[in-house]
Amino acid sequence: MTDFSPAIFGLQGLTLSSEEVAFFDDVRPWGIILFARNIESREQLRALTDDLRDKFGNQHLPILIDQEGGRVARLKPPLVPIYPPMGLYGELYVKDKAASVEAARLGAALLAQDLFELGISVNCAPCLDLRLPETSNVIGDRAFGDDVERVVALGRAVMDGLEMGGVLPVVKHMPGHGRATVDSHHELPRIDSDSDTLRQSDFKPFKQLNDAMLGMTGHLLFTAIDEVAVSTCSKAMIGDVIRGHIGFDGVLMSDDISMSALAGDMAARVTGALKAGCDMVLHCNGDMAEMQAVAEVLPSKPSIDAAPRLARADEALAGLACDVPKGVRKVWGELMADIFPESQNAL
């Protein structure tokens, strides 16, 4: 399916409004992202995801969510069980590598199974950012840890688990949010580390997991790479680092373009991201005026470079299936019992 514009949009409420139906029919975005404001009950959410696919005429429409576990969970009990922040798997890794990797894989599979049952096909996780002493709390325990080995091992486990549960992962925040000392939702992080340091640390998890099908940028200013342009809008960052050095050839989406780390109006942000080499722009807040401003400058189809990457992603979405064996929740609960007692509530 190629008749879509390279954007992912949010919704205002629990159901599609007539204005949203008309807008999406006209703009034909690639996907939709959901937030807590769109969720009331399992029945309502499944009805919404079914309705979206019916209205779009695409039974494999990508429907995204941020469901990492811990504080980043748009779906909460009692709709779904509680899952730990990814950092807890990192703590377990220090004590028992094998148990930690298996717990991360199975926990991600169970989390994905919840999403699959509700019609959600893409999860914006895992974070492959390093958790360093200076790391902003916006990342904090969302990261697996401070060393590349741990982040790669657990990142791979979570990616595998999500796919086992029937959901495609999105690795984020490329090329690494760990050295940001401020929250990019509110201001632009400036990172002055030299290029060699970044290549030996922050960039490495993404390089070692560069076969991911979907990735998301972070809104970050790496002065050693591009002194002027934020990474999402930097040809040097996307072309030389993310596509070149890291070797990522999946679909690259921007982080939310309504975040305050970006300057300029919506048109400038969209144009900047796409010209720099993002395949897709993400706009999350569901504000219709902003979405219309985005749509005014969106191309009617993806770039020539993006098309084959999106075709691979669409093929993977069409083939998603949930394959979580019975008994997995019990095994996961046993692995996590000491470090995450809440895992027992889900048995």
CA 340 distance to own-chain centroid: 24
Structure tokens that stand for 273 in this block: 């991201």
As a whole number, mean pLDDT of residues 220-247 equals 97
As a whole number, mean pLDDT of residues 104-124 equals 98
Q: Rounded distance, CA 25 to CA 153, Å?
A: 42
Instruction: DSSP letter for 231, please.
Output: G
| 173 is known as an active-site residue | no
DSSP string, 245-311: IS---SEEEEEETTSTTS-S-HHHHHHHHHHHT-SEEEE-S--HHHHHHHHHH--SS--TTHHHHHH
DSSP string, 103-132: HHHHHHHHHHHHHHHTT--EE---B-----
Q: Rounded distance, CA 242 to CA 129, Å?
A: 14
| 60 is known as an active-site residue | no
Residue among 51, 60, 147, 185 flagged as catalytic:
185
What pLDDT digit, counting tens, does each position of 238-285 carry?
999 999 999 999 999 999 999 989 999 999 999 999 999 999 999 999
pLDDT at residue 171 is higher than 80:
yes
- In the three-class reduction of DSSP (H, G, I as helix; E, B as strand; rest coil), residue 342 is classed as helix
As a whole number, mean pLDDT of residues 69-76 equals 96
Q: Rounded distance, CA 291 to CA 10, Å?
A: 9
pLDDT at residue 346 is higher than 60:
no
User: Residue 35's pLDDT is what?
Assistant: 98
As a whole number, mean pLDDT of residues 180-188 equals 90
What pLDDT digit, counting tens, does each position of 288-335 carry?
999 999 999 999 999 999 999 999 999 999 999 999 999 999 999 999
User: Residue 2's pLDDT is what?
Assistant: 55
pLDDT at residue 345 is higher than 90:
no
As a whole number, mean pLDDT of residues 166-190 equals 94
User: Residue 288's pLDDT is what?
Assistant: 98
Do the Cβ atoms of 347 and 335 come closer than 8 Å? no
pLDDT at residue 344 is higher than 90:
no
pTM comes to: 0.97
pLDDT at residue 347 is higher than 70:
no
The radius of gyration of the chain from alpha carbons, rounded to an integer in Å, stands at 19
pLDDT at residue 80 is higher than 90:
yes
Residue among 66, 129, 255, 314 flagged as catalytic:
255
Q: Rounded distance, CA 259 to CA 135, Å?
A: 19
User: Residue 3's pLDDT is what?
Assistant: 83
